[in-house]
Structure 1
Amino acid sequence: MKNLKKYLLASLVSLSIISCSEDGIPVANDVTLEFNNTFGTTTIVLGDATSAEATTNTSTEGQVHHFEELKYVISNIRLVNAEGVEFPYNTQNLDEGATIIDQSKEATLKYVLNDIPTANYTQIKFGLGIKEALNTLDEELFPSFYNADLSIHWFWATGYRFAQIEGFYGVDNAPLAIHTGSVLGGDPDDESTWNNADVHARNAYRDITLDLSTDAMVGENSPTITIKADFNKVLSGINTITLETPTEGYTAGTFATKHVSPNVMVEYVDNMAGNGDTDIKGMFSIESVEN
């Protein structure tokens, strides 16, 4: 019995060493990412074609529109501390490090990062979509992510949809659908080499970099970082897009309106997530940091 007590005491001491630093501050804590999807400053309410409650928006081209469905994938999350050191959060594991933000499901608007090392973080980086090396529909490798929402699969292609927006525009509530995702193949500069998948996008993955408005102080605190995604920029971002009746061969509401080539789809992607060069924020910004 005496030996057992000694063993238990030693175990408790070891546990305290593992869970706390010398000054009593935990060596790790959680960080919550909260997503606020807006048109400008107004949080989006979804609705069908005749909804009186749905949040409407007017693009710079004067087109009134609203959304019935709004989903997008966040992955490859990295926090950067005050010394410039990146902490990658399960960046090679979609089950543990990727999530689907779905405006119709409130629970998905918050994503908890577990066991983030104690530090003051000044920046967050993440991907809109899934980087090429992981963008395959692999149920055995990542079963949780694969089955989280089957509607974001390109069933006839190789990977996932990165953003899936459905809604209506104009006085007659014409349907709109903006689906993005990296389904690649052929020469992007030679239309004759594109297959059915290629007309939806070229490389639709984008890395986002955001400076935090206040340091996220992880340790005694478990901060919440609120990230705003302003969907006004989908049509009115670095590219000005006018919604039109799809070209011949496309059914209205089936894929993105004004959808004629991969180059056009990239205009939507660049508006949402930046072009990776002059714009590395796209529609995203830091709304607040609560320690």
Structure 2
Amino acid sequence: MKKLINSIIILIALFTIIACQNDDDTNSVANNVTLEFQNTFKDEIIVLGDANSTSATTNTSVEGQTHHFSELKYVISNIRLIKTDGTEIPYNVNDLDKGATVINQSKTSSLNYTLSTIPSGDYKQIKFGLGIRADLNTLDQVRFPKFYEAAGANDTKMHWEWGTGYRFTKIEGFYDTDNKELSIHTGSTVSGTNGDSSTYTQGVNAYREITLNLTTHAIVGRISPKIIIKADFDKLLSGKTTTITLGDGNATPSIHTAANMVKFVDNLGGNGTSDLSGMFSIINVEN
């Protein structure tokens, strides 16, 4: 009887060890992380609409200026996840085909972007670019054909031809009670002789680095977490440091200057020094 009891104890111990090993193996595997983008005016999800729409979400700036959008797109790239020990995990940061995407409010499928095969671990922070950093920001159909095609498609039109790169944000809509045209396009520019690429140098740098602390750790392993990110376009006119009133000199690309464009860029993406989050914040992490 004693031998039987000892055998049972040994078997239980073996099963416990195997179960722990299996659990460790499950936790150590790479898994996906999904980024869900929610585009809002303050806390209200944006509904797009034309000038006469009765369903479009209307926002009022801190200056009392009403506005709503008919089109809303922006580019996310250079994504990095930061572990609790400070280790930075880059996600295809040098490959626009695999590591960049256009968020398009009229295209529901674009609002979720999956990062595949992320190493297991606990993550405390996410960093990404609003736009495309200078060394990759060229309309290169050969090097990155998938992103080139996606960004230039009829439903996106994110090619920034005069800047020789991509549009980083593209906002169309209407403002004031008489629905005047609102058209805000941002993207980095070049200086030099038009048509002579050998003379081109960096003009306005509209790329912005975003840094966000997660509300709770994203646990990658047996779990495939989702990070829900809010992009609050109330900041377009009512930024953290700049308040903008739309008028004759800044409401459309044909008349607003590069200096005016930078004000919108800083409101949406932060100024790169005192503000590293711009319009973005973390709503939740779902493990």
For 1:220, the equivalent position in structure 2 comes to 222
- Listed one character per residue, the Cα deviations across residues 130-185 of structure 1 (whole Å, up to 9, x for unaligned) are 00000000011001100003111023331000000000001110001000000121
Q: Distance in 2 between matches of 1:194 and 1:276?
A: 29
Is 1:148 aligned with 2:150?
yes
Matches within 5 A, 1:103-142: 103-142=105-144
Secondary structure of 2:271's partner? Answer: coil
1:244 is aligned, of 240, 247, 262, to 247
Q: Does 1:164 align with 2:170?
A: yes
> Deviation at 1:26?
4.2
Whether the 8 Å contact between 2:34 and 2:112 is mirrored in structure 1 is: yes
Which of these residues, 191, 207, 223, is aligned with residue 209 of structure 2?
A: 207
Q: Which protein shows a greater Rg?
A: 2
For residues 86-141 of structure 1, give each alpha carbon's deviation from its aligned partner in whole angstroms, at most 9, with x where no partner exists: 00000000000000000000000000000000000000000000000000000110
Question: Contact 1:227/1:285 (CA < 8 Å) preserved in 2?
Answer: yes
Amino acid at match of 1:162: F
Structure 1 segments of 4+ aligned residues over 6 angstroms from their partners: none
Q: What is the identity, as a one-letter code, of the residue corresponding to 1:34? A: E
**Does structure 1 retain, via aligned residues, the 8 Å contact 2:167–2:187?**
yes
Judged with a 3 Å threshold, the aligned counterparts in structure 2 of structure 1 residues 179 and 62 are, in CA distance, closer, same or farther, namely same
Q: Secondary structure at the match of 1:121?
A: strand
SS at the partner of 1:149?
helix
Asked whether the 8 Å contact 1:179–1:256 carries over to 2, the reply is no
Distance between the aligned counterparts of 2:188 and 2:210, measured in 1? 16
Matches within 5 A, 1:262-277: 262-277=258-273
1:21–1:27 contact (8 Å) kept in structure 2: no
- Corresponding residue for 2:7? none
Structure 2 counterpart of 1:108, one-letter code: S
TM-score of the superposed pair, with normalisation by structure 2:
0.85
Contact 1:206-1:274 at 8 Å conserved across structures = yes
What secondary structure, in the 3-state scheme, does the structure 1 residue paired with 2:135 have? helix
For 1:67 and 1:78, how far apart are their aligned partners in 2?
30
Q: What displacement does 1:233 show?
A: 0.3
> Which of the numbers 76, 81, 84 marks the counterpart of 1:82?
84
Letter in 2 for 1:145: F
State the alpha-carbon separation in 1 of the partners of residues 23 and 190 from structure 2: 48
RMSD: 2.0
TM-score, normalising length: structure 1: 0.84
The residue type equivalent to 2:176 in the other structure is: G
Unaligned runs of 5+ residues in structure 2 are: 1-21
Picking from 62, 65, 68, the partner of 1:63 is 65
* Unaligned segments of structure 1, at least 5 residues: 1-19, 187-192
Write the distance in 2 (CA, Å) between the matches of 1:145 and 1:270.
Answer: 25
Say whether the 8 Å CA contact 2:163–2:190 is kept in structure 1. Answer: no
Residue 194 of structure 1 and its aligned partner are, at CA, apart by 10
Residue matched to 1:91: 93
Q: Is the CA contact 1:169–1:175 (under 8 Å) kept in the aligned structure 2?
A: yes
State the percentage of identical aligned residues: 59
Provide the residue aligned with 2:277 in structure 1. 281
3-state SS of paired residue (2:147): helix
Counterpart residue number, 2:188: 182
How many equivalent pairs are there?
255
Counterpart amino acid of residue 281 in structure 1: S
Partner amino acid, structure 2, of 1:128: L
Q: Distance in 1 between matches of 2:23 and 2:146?
A: 34
**Which residue identity does 1:169 align to in structure 2?**
Y
Compared CA separation, residues 232 and 24, structure 1 to 2 (3 A): closer
Tell whether the 8 Å contact from 2:27 to 2:220 is kept in structure 1 after alignment. no
Q: 1:226 to 1:256 in 2, by over 3 A?
A: farther
